[in-house]
Structure 1
Amino acid sequence: MTIGFSTRALLSCCALGAVGMSALTPLPAAALTGTGSGAPGPAASYSPLLYGPGTQVRPRAGAPEVPSVSALSWLVADADTGDVLAAHDAHRPLPPASTLKTLFALTVLPALPAGTRHTVTERELADIGPGSSLVGVREGLTYRVSDLWKGVFLHSGNDAVHVLAALNGGVQTTVRRMQAKARQLGAYDTQVVSPDGYDAPGQVSSAYDLAVFGRAGLRNPDFARYCSLAESTFPGDGGSYGIRNTNRLLTGADGVERYPGLIGIKNGYTSHAGNTLVAAARHGGRTLVVT
């Protein structure tokens, strides 16, 4: 999930999520509940605890202390039941950076068949924000939609996002559909301005909303497959080249130890947001989502 983590805090928060939570009691009326179809939906009832400041947790006897992390906001939830196990300023609105791509994928993945082939135009690569992360999409090359999704999930490519948004009716149409999808899921803290999560005035989400998006994504087989890939290939001018997931907890790159059981989901960074994360890990048959 997300919001302002340093690498050390990422490790601490994931350790909190996947190790200590068996000894914590779900917060009352705080579930990220689902509909009859099994898809996540709006919360069943208002939870004043999750709207309160500070850390909210009800530890059982013998539970370890909640570790101190640098995140401005965070949340840990059971991915299957939606129960919120612990949270800190869960509804605080903050810039999401590329974790907003989880909502982009939830909105656009069902609309575009993976095998569709598309030749990229100059116009589709226009208006990408300066300093954006790019996977290397090139004008005039033909890509499968599945290639572009790998560029989104692994390399956080804003160029791939813009091409997929163009196929989905354009950037502004996609933004409106993302906003509608957030409301459908009960994610009322989220305001979408840019589909790729690039810093934009007024664009915010929350740890709670990002947990909703992460949980919904894990229930989509295509989303779950893409977000868990550590490495893949991407088409280029002279053939394919390798790309690696930017989530070092998944890949073990640059001296960061791989986190056992990590499923992935999405991390991000911008100068305004700082480091952000939506993650999930599975231990002993239980899956937790951490934002």
Structure 2
Amino acid sequence: MKRREIAAKLDRRPRRGASWERAWDRQAARRGVALLLAGLLLFSFGGEARGAEGEKGAGDPVLPKVEADAYILMSADTGEVFAGKDIHAQLPMASTTKIMTGLLAAESGPLDQLYTVSAEDVNTEGSMLGLKAGDQLTLRDLMTGMLLKSGNDAAACVASVVAGDQFVERMNEKAAQLGMADTHFTNPSGLPDDAHYSSAYDMAILARAALQNPDFAAICGSSEAAIAVSGTRWHLRNSNRLLREMEGAVGMKTGFTKKAGRCLVSAATRDGATLICVTLHCYDDWRVHKDLMDYGFGTGDRQPTDPTYVATLDVVGGTAETVSVRVESDLEELLLKDGSALKKTVNLPPFLYAPVAEGQVVGEILYTAGEGEALRVEIVASQGVAAKETPKKGFWQWLLGLFQKKDR
């Protein structure tokens, strides 16, 4: 077939002058229209994914991209879940286990008692603080070495001090008390074991409880600390980089094993509100936690509580007929997920029996939001009320009363 016939069939008939240019202009125009239509289609489909992970619609918050086996972002105040993935999946949690170990230690009693390290305590594996048999240090310093440097030897010592061979049983009992339904512990440090697991949700619940203990919170929130080992001062730097790199960071614990991957539990406080973030098997956990915290604090609504609540209750059998009651809380507002509504319920008895002690807990204010757990704020008596003394009756008064009853 001749060249002109082929060109005619393809509508590309060559002509003298500008004919070739006009042909190519028509093709370019068709291509431009096609590209424009494709762009409009992509834009319209992209607009349907508003609020999706890593994407953004007009005016919508951006949920950062998270590559983890499981994660959660939770309010430390109400337990409300801001974001998450596979939050109840049972997974290994590595050294974030030490949050439970530290909480049990903080709740066990005096933290300044001296403990002598045994050979059995240092016969462990994994990350070590560097203790030797015969070293002496306090339970507080053992907790510090365990939480800041993730020392498995320190964790073994803590377990020995608190409950000895019964420590793991105590861990599981505490987990049950906290409602950690997807958790089971087999050791105090997080060493790999098929029967040692938790979930992102459970670790967030544990973190909430641990933050409420002032001794634990002070230790896990320290970027640096010093401990005394047999009279020698050791300076420790917390392995949790977020304490130095993330706004408002207040803890909590890092973790890593080959089986569990990188695990991290963090907490941050901004403008009086606290969020907890947990990631399990997340290779980019430092960035993810920063981004999730920014997301939560940036999109949450702050709603006021009632830290100055005052009421009056009747008193039966007291030297005063009423008593003033109040809340004892510095919590002025709660951070809630966008769209959640804060509900307040006041639980008080209709009256009190004397005696009433100053500071006695007489009721509570219950705050709930979304599907999160409740935040309970105690209501206490502002002052004491003594019981009214009943005058003792003499013999003749008793006898007179007896006859008066018979007359009736």
Establish whether TM, by shorter chain, passes 0.5: yes
Structure 1 or 2, whichever has the larger Rg, is 2
Name the CA distance, whole Å, in 1 between partners of 2:216 and 2:59: 37
- Following superposition, the deviation at residue 125 of structure 1 comes to 2.2
Deviation at 1:108, TM superposition (A): 2.8
Q: Distance in 2 between matches of 1:236 and 1:77?
A: 37
Q: Aligned to 2:196, what secondary structure does the other structure show?
A: coil
Higher relative contact order (CA 8 A, sep 6+): 1
Q: How does 1:57-136 map to 2 (within 5 A)?
A: 62-126=59-123, 128-129=124-125, 132-136=126-130
Give the counterpart letter for 2:118 in structure 1. Answer: T
| Contact 2:102/2:147 (8 A) holds in 1 | no
Contact persistence 2:118–2:134 (CA under 8 A) = yes
Q: How much does 1:234 deviate?
A: 3.0
Is the CA contact 1:112–1:145 (under 8 Å) kept in the aligned structure 2? no
Pair 1:259-2:246 in alignment: yes
- Measured after TM superposition, the shift of residue 115 of structure 1 is 0.9
Corresponding letter in the other structure for 2:272: G
Q: Please report the RMSD computed on the Cα atoms of aligned residues, expressed in angstroms.
A: 2.1
Match of 2:178 in 1: 185
Where 1:165 maps in the other structure, the secondary structure is helix
Report if aligned partners of 2:137, 2:229 keep a CA contact under 8 Å in 1: no
Q: TM-score, normalised on structure 1?
A: 0.73
The aligned runs of 1:148-227 (5 Å cut-off) are: 148-170=142-164, 172-227=165-220
Provide closer, same or farther for how the CA distance between residues 104 and 63 of structure 1 changes in structure 2, counting only shifts above 3 A: farther
SS in 2 for 1:124: coil
Map residues 225-240 of structure 1 onto 2, 5 A cutoff. Answer: 225-236=218-229, 239-240=232-233
**SS of aligned partner of 1:240:** strand
Residue 393 of structure 2 corresponds to none
How many equivalent pairs are there? 226
1:98 corresponds to which letter in structure 2?
S
Bigger fraction of residues in strand = 2
Q: For 1:167 and 1:209, how far apart are their aligned partners in 2?
A: 25
**Aligned equivalent of 1:145, options 111, 124, 139:** 139
Query: Who is 1:20 aligned against?
Result: none
Which residue type is aligned with residue 211 of structure 1?
Answer: A
Q: Residue 95 of structure 2: SS of its match in structure 1?
A: helix
Cα 1:238–1:219 shift into 2, 3 Å: closer
- Residues 227 and 115 of structure 1, relative CA distance in 2, 3 Å threshold: same
Q: Which runs of 5+ in 1 are unaligned?
A: 1-23, 25-54, 252-257
8 Å CA contact 1:136, 1:236 repeated in 2 = no
